[in-house]
Amino acid sequence: MLRIAAVFILLIWANVDLRKVEAAELPAYSRHYDPARDPFADGRAAIELAKNTQRRILIEVGGNWCKWCHVLDKFIKNDAEIEQALYQTFVVLKVNVSDENSNEKFLSAFPKNLGYPHMYVADMDGKVLHSQDTAAFLVNLKYSKVKFLAFLKRWKFKENEKK
């Protein structure tokens, strides 16, 4: 009986944790671009978290110098539905690209991109499934909620993918 209660409490905690995502609860590698971070270590941590929470990984490449990276961050943070959907769907791994740290060695394994911010969808093991130019989310030079949510829905982990 206690074992059933413990499992039930864990399930409730897991659901609450994924339903409401607070910025303070996000790993540091999900919050902002940081030239001092190690993307290899962050990637390993993201893979572990993705496996534990049955989510895919969204690798977002950009930098603090990037105007469109700030526009995308603001778009996400200013819409609770988008923010919740993003963090329920993905473990987000932000990888810095700048003059200070290009993370060239880490990014050499990824398909080339046309600009920043750029996103890569990876499975729970870190295998890249899709390369996404964020300009595809724009309508009249503004990020489209409809297009962004459709992207999240398309790349959401599906239960039948379990190994």
Portion of the chain with pLDDT greater than 90, in percent? 80
Higher pLDDT pick, 114 / 159 = 114
Average pLDDT, the chain: 87
Q: So where are the chain's domains?
A: 27-158
As a whole number, mean pLDDT of residues 98-103 equals 96
User: Does residue 159 contact residue 96 with C-beta atoms inside 8 Å?
Assistant: no
Question: Which option is the CATH number for 27-158: 3.40.367.20, 3.10.25.10, 3.40.30.10, 3.40.50.2000?
Answer: 3.40.30.10
Per-residue model confidence (pLDDT) at position 22? 57
- Tens of pLDDT, residue by residue over 22-55, are 555 899 999 999 999 999 999 999 999 999 999 9
Question: How buried is residue 145: exposed, middle or buried, by Cβ count under 10 Å (0-12/13-18/19+)?
Answer: middle
The two three-digit tokens of residue 129, written as one number = 């499934």
User: Does residue 92 contact residue 128 with C-beta atoms inside 8 Å?
Assistant: no
Per-residue model confidence (pLDDT) at position 17? 44
User: Nearest to residue 38, comparing CAs of 95, 100, 79, 111?
Assistant: 95
Phi, psi for residue 162 in degrees, rounded to 5: -55, 145
Residue 12 above 70 pLDDT? Answer: no
Distances in Å between the Cα of 24 and the Cα atoms of 7, 21, 30, 84, 132 are 26, 8, 10, 14, 27
Residue 107 above 50 pLDDT? Answer: yes
CA distance 163 to 159: 10
Which of the four pLDDT bands, split at 50, 70 and 90, describes residue 18? very low
Higher pLDDT pick, 20 / 91 = 91
Q: Which amino acid is at 101?
A: N
Cα dihedral 107→25→156→16 (10° resolution): 170
User: Does residue 56 contact residue 124 with C-beta atoms inside 8 Å?
Assistant: yes
pTM: 0.84
